[in-house]
């Protein structure tokens, strides 16, 4: 089998980078992470989603949390959760 690639010029303006994905459980939002959700949702460099359940019920009942690119980030307050989300993204680049 032979493959050939044609070269093309693509400018950086045409390249769509994947945003970090931040997922919230609606039950945890009701328990206090709603404020963090609202703040993070304003950031166009993040894809912030809410789900009915993320299946981390023990964590959900004990602390504020969200998933960042599939990993749990926990905090005691909405402000701390926002800080830890950005810290996680900085320490764990996608590319």
DSSP string, 17-64: PPPPEEEEEHHHIIIIIHHHHHHHHT-TTSEEEEES--S-HHHHHHSE
Task: Look up residue 14 and give its DSSP letter.
Answer: G
Q: Which of 60, 49, 56, 55 is nearest to 27 (CA)?
A: 60
Whether the per-residue pLDDT at 93 is higher than 90: the answer is no
pLDDT, tens digit, for every residue of 24-75? 999 999 999 999 999 999 999 999 999 999 999 999 999 999 999 999 999 9
Q: Which domains does the chain have, with CATH numbers?
A: 18-91 (3.40.30)
Q: What is the model's pTM? A: 0.81
pLDDT in tens, 28-37: 999 999 999 9
Q: What's the whole-number mean pLDDT along residues 6-34?
A: 80
């Amino acid at each position: 089998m032979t493959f050939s690639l044609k070269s093309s010029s693509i400018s950086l303006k045409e390249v769509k980078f994947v945003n970090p994905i931040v997922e919230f459980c609606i039950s945890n939002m009701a328990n206090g992470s709603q404020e963090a959700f609202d703040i993070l949702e304003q950031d166009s460099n993040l894809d912030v989603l809410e789900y009915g359940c993320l299946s981390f019920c023990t964590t959900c009942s004990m602390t504020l949390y969200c998933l960042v690119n599939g990993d749990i980030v926990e905090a005691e307050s909405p402000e701390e959760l926002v800080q830890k989300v950005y810290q996680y993204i900085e320490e764990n680049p996608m590319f």
